[in-house]
Structure 1
């Protein structure tokens, strides 16, 4: 079990490497929820995520012999960058094993911080197996992403900052992957402040923590499937599990649609870019995945901002669908002159903007005397999108909403 003293000692080691990130009240999300919502902007952290805190503390505590031999780790991206920069700042060689499908931006950034990168396995757990093999073969020190007291204490420095900047805190909402962050934050805020609730959030496609806490033992899931790749682990760690059982009050889940919506709202309303894992705490708050009172002071930890640009467009599109701002549909047409113009007129009168059009009359699924029109529309909100479908159907068209 880590203690408040461990976390305070870690802050001295981390200071100068990790930044003290802002904590800001959000009027937008406070109005949307009725609570007093604050955002811990850890996406502004050096390397773009909180992982630099734990990695710095772990490497700083290595004996001289271990520093000379070097370190190895496995990561989907954020911990990789944290270890790479912490090792570079400490003059220690670092090897990082990342899954083959890790975001390209994170792979490039990790190499840019000076680490040797190997791409192995389809997910974090397979990459970790390779890293442990290198640990044994080359005599390296393994820097675990979460299952290490020194790493947990380093992550807990984020909790000290929250406690300092928001002494009236009622609830802190923290993402859970392996549990290193929430365990450190939970100890920090609960030992520093009175009557604080700690709520953990996992992606629905990588939810092992709630089952583990309910069972009283760690439960591993068979696989992970979520846009929140930064918290896509099959199980929580043993060290964090022990802390979570004592300090974490509740664990909830959010699905990818809710994550995409929170990410899109942060980008549009707060001009803040986060990755999927960085959006889950706000997603849980917006979706009321946990109960809270009006005017309750809530801090949502935005734990990372390293989203791959190739994925960003897809995630934003999902968010727009949730907001009713993007509508994709198909309309069955008679294959005769003027039909396309007729549909276009209905859409124009409804005030929608056409993003893309695909007209097909050669598909096997389309009758010989018919055509299929696929439209992608920019709409105002869900009510506006529904009204467009209603107007098309009222004019006799068969409509299928695709998203």
Structure 2
């Protein structure tokens, strides 16, 4: 059985994360509450130094790596962006070398951020899985440590945002969390269990990348042939066995949302809170809006996991109209 981090391990990770930034806020936004029909609290992981939650796990993993093997031991990893930014930021801070492999057509702005954060960037493969396969090949050829996108140390680090969230809002009925390879939702499950809370944890995937929903329903890991979604943070097609075990044991359900619903949620976040949400970060709000009637009157948490969306895509999404837009702000 896969194990989640203990309370002591998460709290130790919190001390390390605090050396980089003081955590992120959670707010209850009135307009968002009107939209969702419930008391809606948002955990703002779009406000970290890299604009996404992943920086927490990267710092914990790389600190352990440098302490055991030294800063001269190079690492390589694959990413669609936020994981790579987290590792590059941690490596630069701790003096380690890092190579990051991204797929073709990856976000230009995320690529630029990773280079600025000190990563040697390689573009290879048609999707994340192909990039990850290439990274493993380069790791063997160049004698680099292949850093996975899911690892217990990464979960330990990202669980710190959930610990902050649950301590700030200990009586949440339900928390909606997006799922890529699974570190975020596993961290939420770990923090909830460490604090002995009864909060339901609901995972959210994109309809075009449903591997964990299919796996949850089948009771076993199920891979897909493609991951077709504008939400690159959840565009994965091969589940991690260890993550699946934790999700199956700790999540209440997994929902899938369409790209159209994700785009509407991006607009809703901007309209109601003036925050920028990337596709994966908006997916939990899309799921809550789909379950509006069932969740009416409850106290609900949303994890806005990141705000790293390319400007051109963001402007395109904002330019689309929602029904009733002209009535949103009456004179």
TM-score, structure 2 normalization: 0.93
Q: How does 1:151-170 map to 2 (within 5 A)?
A: 151-170=154-173
* Superposition map of 1:220-259 within 5 A: 220-259=223-262
Residue 219 of structure 2 corresponds to residue 216 of structure 1: yes
Cα offsets for 1:285-330 (capped at 9, x unmatched): 11217932x3211110000000011211222234x2x4365xxxxx
Aligned length: 324
Say whether the 8 Å CA contact 1:252–1:290 is kept in structure 2. no
Q: Find out whether 1:76 has 2:77 as its counterpart.
A: no
Q: Is 1:150 matched with 2:153?
A: yes
What SS does structure 2 have at the residue aligned with 1:295?
A: coil
111-120 or 227-236, which deviates more: 227-236
Tell me the distance in 2 between the aligned counterparts of 1:291 and 1:305. Answer: 28
Asked if 2 retains the 8 angstrom alpha-carbon contact of 1:66 and 1:140, the reply is no
Bigger strand fraction: 1
Query: Contact 1:167/1:193 (CA < 8 Å) preserved in 2?
Result: no
Task: List structure 1 segments (4+ residues) > 6 angstroms apart after TM superposition.
Answer: none
107-116 or 207-216, which deviates more: 207-216
What CA RMSD, in Å, does the superposition of the two structures yield over aligned residues? 1.7
Show the counterpart of 1:17.
20
1:140 equivalent in alignment to 2:144:
yes
Q: Does the 8 Å CA contact 1:7/1:154 hold for their aligned counterparts?
A: yes
Tell me which of 117, 121, 132 is aligned to 2:121.
117
1:190 maps onto 2:193 in alignment: yes
Q: Secondary structure at the match of 1:177?
A: coil
Give the whole-Å Cα distance in 2 for the aligned partners of 1:199 and 1:84.
Answer: 30
User: Which residue is 1:100 aligned to?
Assistant: 104
State which structure, 1 or 2, has the greater radius of gyration over its C-alpha atoms: 1
Whether the 8 Å contact between 1:190 and 1:196 is mirrored in structure 2 is no
Q: Residues 205 and 163 of structure 1: is their aligned pair in 2 closer, same or farther, counting only changes over 3 Å?
A: same
Aligned to 1:303: 305
- Structure 1 CA distance for aligned equivalents of residues 123 and 323 of structure 2: 37
| Unpaired runs of at least 5, structure 2 | none
Residue 91 of structure 2 is matched in structure 1 by 87
1:271-282 matched pairs, under 5 angstroms: 271-282=274-285
Match of 1:38 among 37, 41, 53: 41
In the alignment, is the contact (CA less than 8 A) between 1:19 and 1:46 conserved in 2? no
- Consecutive unaligned residues in structure 1, runs of 5 or more: 326-379, 383-403
Deviation at 1:78, TM superposition (A): 0.7
CA distance in 1, matches of 2:258, 2:240: 22
Match of 2:323 in 1: 323
Q: Which residue of structure 1 aligns with residue 55 of structure 2? A: 52
Question: Following TM superposition, by how much is the alpha carbon of 1:7 offset from its aligned partner in structure 2, in angstroms?
Answer: 2.1
Match of 1:131 among 121, 131, 135: 135
TM-score, normalising length: structure 1: 0.77
